Copies of this chain bind each other. A is one copy, B any other.
Amino acid sequence: MAATIADVARRAGVGVGTVSRVLNNRPKVRPATRARVLTAIEELDYVPSETARRLSLGRTQTIAVLSIHLVIPSVIERIRGIESSLTAAGLDMIIRNVETVDRRAQAIRDMSRAERVDGAIFISIGPDPDEYAQIRASGVPVVLVDAHHPELPSVVSDDVEGGRIAGRHLLDLGHTRLGFVGDPPNPSLGVRSSRMRLQGVTEALKERGLRIDPSHIVEGEHSRAEARRSALTILSAPDPPTAVVAANDTLAFGVLHAARDLGLSVPGGLSVIGYDDIDAADLVGLTTVHQPLQETGTEAARRLLALIDGTGTGPSRTTLPVHLTVRETTGPPP
C-alpha cells in the first residue's frame, strides 16, 4: 500500500542505504544524488514507517506520562506543558491514568518492560522503594513532577515557600488563628506537597511567635466534597479560625462551599486562600498561591529529553518559584 524505502531507492536508482542517509540528513551524499532521492520521495509521497524505525533503532520515540487522577485541574495543566515540549521534539506521549496503587505498580511494570518507552514522567507520584528498584533496573530515565525522590530528578515548585507566602499574607491582614485543609498525610500515592505547604504556613506563624491549633488542621481526600466536610468541622468548633489555607484550589472551593453553608461571608466573615491558581480560581475570584503548572511540565520534558540523549545531568531537583495572586477571598479578620 504505502511506499517503502525500497520503492524510493528503486525509483531513484540508488540503494536503500543512501535513501536512509538522505532521510536522516547525514553527510556523505552527493548533492545530485540527494536531489534524486528527494524527488523520488516527493513523487511517491513517501513517509518512513515510525514502527520500523523504532524496531531498528531500539528506541520507541515514546515517553510515558504516569499521572494521578486525570480530573485534577493542576495535573491537566502540567500535561499540557509536557505535551507541547514533546510534540516539538517529535516524540509521542502515552498517558497512564493511575488511580490506585495497584494500577501504579502495573503501569510501572508495563512501562519498563512491555512498552519499552524511552523515558517517563511521573506527575504527583513518588515511587516507593520497590518501584524505584524496578525503574532503576529497567534503565528507563524518569523525571518526577510535583514529587520527590532522593535518586530521581524532579521538577517541583517551592511548596514550603508557597505555604509561607500564604501564611504571611493572612498574618499581614491581621489574622492570628489560621486553619488548614489539606490532602491526606500519608497518601497512598506518595505525594507530599500538601504537608510541605502546611509546613510553610507553620513557619510563617512561627516568625510572628504564633502557632496553628492542631485541631484546626484537617487532612482528607482530595475532593471538594471532602474539603467541605473538613472545613465544616473546624469552622463549627468553638474558637474557629478566621482564615483557612487550603492545600490546593479544589479544596479551597470546598472551604468556600462550607462557608456558604454556615452563612459566613467571604472575606468578611472568613478569609480563604488556595494553592495552584487553576483556571477556575480566577473564575470565582479566589486568592491563591500561583505556581507555574505548565512550566513544570515543559521543564520536566526538557530534562527528560536531555537524560535520554545522554546530555542530561544526574538526579537533581529543579525548583520553580511561586507567587501570591490576591483576589477577593481574603481580607481582614472580622
Interface size class of A (residues with CB under 8 A): 35 or more
Q: A71-B279, A280-B283 are in contact. Are A51 and B116 (CB under 8 A)?
A: yes
Distance of A56 from chain B, by nearest CB (Å): 9
A51 and B60 contacting across the interface, CB-CB below 8 Å: yes
Chain A interface mostly:
mixed
Instruction: Check B94–A50 contact: CB distance below 8 A.
Output: no
B92/A94 in contact, CB under 8 A: yes
Nearest chain B CB to A104's CB is how many angstroms away? 14
Determine how many copies of this chain the complex contains. Answer: 2
- Set of chain B residues within 8 Å of A11, measured between Cβ atoms: none
A262 contacts chain B at the CB level, 8 A cutoff? no
* A116/B224 in contact, CB under 8 A: no
> Which residues of B have CB within 8 Å of A47?
113-114
- Verify if A275 is at the interface (C-beta below 8 Å from B): no
Determine, out of A80-88, A145-153, A197-205, A236-244, the stretch whose residues face the partner at the interface.
Answer: A80-88
Which residue of the partner chain B has the closest CB to A224? Answer: B283
Bound form: Cα–Cα A92–B95 in Å: 8
A residues with a Cβ closer than 8 A to B are 1-2, 45, 47-52, 54-55, 60, 70-71, 76, 79-80, 83-84, 87, 92-97, 113-116, 139, 224, 253, 279-280, 283-284
